[in-house]
Every structure is written in C-alpha cells, then in structure tokens.
Amino acid sequence: MILVVGNNGMLGRELMALFAGAARGVDVGEIDIADLESVQRVLMTLKPRVVINAAAYTDVDGCQANTELAMQVNGEGVAHLAMITKEIGATLVQVSTDYIFDGKKETPYLEDDLASPLNVYGESKLAGEMNSWFNPDHLLVRTQWLYGHAGKNFVETMLSLAQTRKELSVVDDQIGSPTWTYDLALGIKALLDKGCRGTYHVANAGAVSWNGFAQEIFRLAGLDVEVRPMTTAELGRPATRPLHSVLDCGKLLQDTGFQPQPWQEALRRYLELRGK
Ligand SMILES: NC(=O)C1=CN([C@@H]2O[C@H](COP(=O)(O)OP(=O)(O)OC[C@H]3O[C@@H](n4cnc5c(N)ncnc54)[C@H](OP(=O)(O)O)[C@@H]3O)[C@@H](O)[C@H]2O)C=CC1
Ligand SMILES: Cc1cn([C@H]2C[C@H](O)[C@@H](COP(=O)(O)OP(=O)(O)O[C@H]3O[C@@H](C)C(=O)[C@@H](O)[C@H]3O)O2)c(=O)[nH]c1=O
C-alpha cells in the first residue's frame, strides 16, 4: 500500500486520484508529522510499502513569520518520516521545491547544483531534503510553481481576481516553470515504477515569468484583463523569492522516458477540465 501523507492538500489529492485503490491517505487530524509519536503510531499501524510525503507548511510568507513551525513541519517532520519508514522497511518519497535555490544561476538547475535558500520556507524545505537521507531508501522530487484542482494556487488566485478587476500588476522578473499537479503525480509514478531513488526534478517544460503566466491564464480563459509588469522589489513581500529557478528535468527523461508536457499545454488542459 502507498500512504499519501497530506492527502487533503493540492498534490495529495492528485496523488490519491492517480494511485486510486493502491493508496491510503492521512492528513491533519490523523497524523501530525511534526510529532514523532504520531508518525510512529500511524506508520506502525498501517505498515505501508511506500510513503509519499505531500504534507508541508507551504505559505511562503507565513513561514517567514513562523520560523519554528516551518522547521518543525518541513524539516523535523521529514526526519520523523525518514526514521520510521527506515524502521518498517518502506520507501520514502519526499517532495521539495525550487525555493531551495537562490535563483542566481542563469541556466536551469541540475539535481546536484548547490542549494542556497533565500527564505525560511526554502531553508526549512532544505532541512527536510537533508533529513530524508535518514532513510537511504528515499526518492527526493523537487518541483515548482504548482497549481491543481484542489488548492490555493496562482491560477485560481488570478481567475478569482479577474472577477472584480480589469487590470492587475504582476511581477515580471521571476522566471520559473508553472507545473500542473497532474503532471507531477505522473512523474512521481514514473520514478516509482522504474525503481528510481535519489534526487530528481519534475516540472512542466518551458519557462515564463509570473506576469507571462498570468497573461496566458487570461488568454486561455478568454478573460479581458490587462496584466501590467512590476518588479519583485516593488511588490515587497516579506519573503525573498529566487529570480530564476527553472529546474532541469533531463535526468527524469533519461531514467524513466517520461517528459512532462510544455507548461502552456498543461495549463490549457487544466482550464478545459476545470471549465475555465
Ligand atoms: N505549492 C507549490 O507551488 C509547491 C509545493 N511544493 C511542495 O509540494 C508539496 C505539496 O504541496 P501542496 O500540495 O501545494 O501543499 P498544500 O499546502 O496544498 O497541502 C499540504 C497538506 O499538508 C497538511 N499539513 C500541514 N502541516 C501538517 C502536519 N504537521 N502534519 C500533517 N499534515 C500537515 C496540510 O493541512 P492544512 O492545510 O490543514 O495545514 C495540507 O493538507 C509540499 O512538500 C510543498 O513544499 C514544491 C514546489 C511548489
Ligand atoms: C496575487 C499576485 C501575486 N503576484 C506575485 C507574487 C509572487 O511573486 C508570484 C506568485 O505568487 P504566489 O503567492 O503563488 O507565490 P509563491 O507563494 O512564492 O509560490 C511558491 O510557492 C511555494 C510553496 C513553492 O514551493 C514555489 O515553487 C512557488 O510555487 O506572483 C503578483 O505579482 N501580483 C498579484 O496580484
């Protein structure tokens, strides 16, 4: 059995749908990954073959204000999962982020590029990456700029703002690869099916700024919204974001034969399924 931890989250729901009958899910209320005893109790009872950790504290600015909680959930939580999965002989799949990088590299990041997070969320996720090594039988999947059917995300924020606004200012100096949770889930499945272990990048192909992404969302949704450019500095959010955090997914293709579709195509299909 595959245990999806954080099954009520955006990625968690996608994984539950993809793995269907093979998966069991747990989330807040049934497990608190920050609490070793809770992790021990759930994993020892359910005895899964694979644990996919889709649970995290994902509010980037929230993490900046709550360092301790961020480290407990995103850092220590993974140590707990790694120690107990090792004890029961299960594989741990840990999901991480482009925000462990500082975004100063001008070409896409490779799996073994140096991590240097700019914010507390990135630091806590990097601690989680390191803690996943407590279980040598682990798969570490880095992804970025996620959107999906069940969750708060940039696409849904833009569509919701468009209901009341005819113009929006969106940052145009941060570049990344918007990624549909469906394609990420397929990537995780492809890696597990091939028995891959270690670190992999999984993101939709191509890259764009948040501003360009917003423009494409409105174009595909047939909404007439003017998207003005602004800089990250002008927006002035509490947590610093990396400016160029595109992930190179060549290793995924090489080892599994799976290549996530271009981000524009993924977005088009997502909006079609969602009903625009
Ligand atoms: N969203 C994105 O753009 C990106 C996400 N990622 C990573 O992908 C993974 C999935 O992200 P996403 O689907 O967006 O996450 P969500 O925030 O949508 O879901 C996370 C889930 O984890 C639960 N959770 C939080 N704290 C705990 C805890 N202590 N114990 C158990 N469960 C907990 C949350 O519950 P509740 O809501 O009640 O707190 C929620 O159900 C995370 O590891 C994230 O860091 C990586 C790159 C980009
Ligand atoms: C709503 C809004 C956002 N923005 C900007 C702010 C930000 O730089 C960018 C995206 O906003 P978000 O709040 O979705 O960004 P953010 O929370 O930084 O998204 C990140 O989440 C974590 C969990 C990850 O792991 C990352 O890969 C990444 O997806 O858009 C505007 O410029 N104008 C707007 O009106």
Q: Cα dihedral sign for 24, 200, 69, 121?
A: negative
Å from CA of 154 to ligand 2 middle: 6
ipTM for the complex shown: 0.98
Does residue 68 lie in a domain region? yes
Does residue 38 lie in a domain region? yes
pLDDT (mean) for 166-189: 97
Does residue 185 lie in a domain region? yes
Å from CA of 224 to ligand 1 middle: 32
204-235 per-position pLDDT tens digit: 999 999 999 999 999 999 999 999 999 999 99
Reported confidence tier of residue 150, pLDDT bands at 50, 70, 90:
confident
Res. 236: pLDDT tops 80: yes
Q: Cα dihedral sign for 110, 116, 117, 120?
A: positive
Q: Residue 31 belongs to a domain with what CATH number?
A: 3.40.50.720
CA 205 distance to own-chain centroid = 15
Q: Please tell me the predicted confidence (pLDDT) of residue 3.
A: 98
Reported confidence tier of residue 276, pLDDT bands at 50, 70, 90:
low
DSSP state of 254: H
243-255 per-position pLDDT tens digit: 999 999 999 999 9
Does residue 256 lie in a domain region? yes
CB 117 within 8 A of CB 100: yes
Domain that residue 12 falls in? 2-153+178-206+245-262
Res. 91: pLDDT tops 70: yes
Alpha-carbon distance of 161 to 167, in angstroms, equals 9
Number of folded domains in the chain? 1
Q: Please tell me the predicted confidence (pLDDT) of residue 107.
A: 96
Neighbour count for residue 199 (Cβ, 10 Å): 18
Residue having the nearest C-alpha atom to atom 40 of ligand 1: 9
Tokens 């918007």 found at: 178
| 157 Cβ inside 6 Å of ligand 2 | yes
Residue in 5, 15, 28 to alter for ligand 1 test, most ligand atoms within 8 A of Cβ? 28
Does residue 67 lie in a domain region? yes
The minimum-distance atom of ligand 2 relative to the CA of 239 is 18
In the Cβ-directed half-sphere of 173, how many Cα atoms lie within 13 Å? 11
Model pTM greater than 0.90? Answer: yes
Give the residues surrounding ligand 1 with Cβ less than 6 Å away: 6, 8-12, 27-28, 31-34, 54-58, 73, 77, 95, 97, 125, 143-146, 151
At residue 217, φ and ψ (nearest 5 deg) are: -60, -50
Res. 93: pLDDT tops 70: yes
Residue having the nearest C-alpha atom to atom 32 of ligand 2: 170
Residue in 52, 57, 58, 78 to alter for ligand 1 test, most ligand atoms within 8 A of Cβ? 58
Catalytic-residue membership of 121: yes
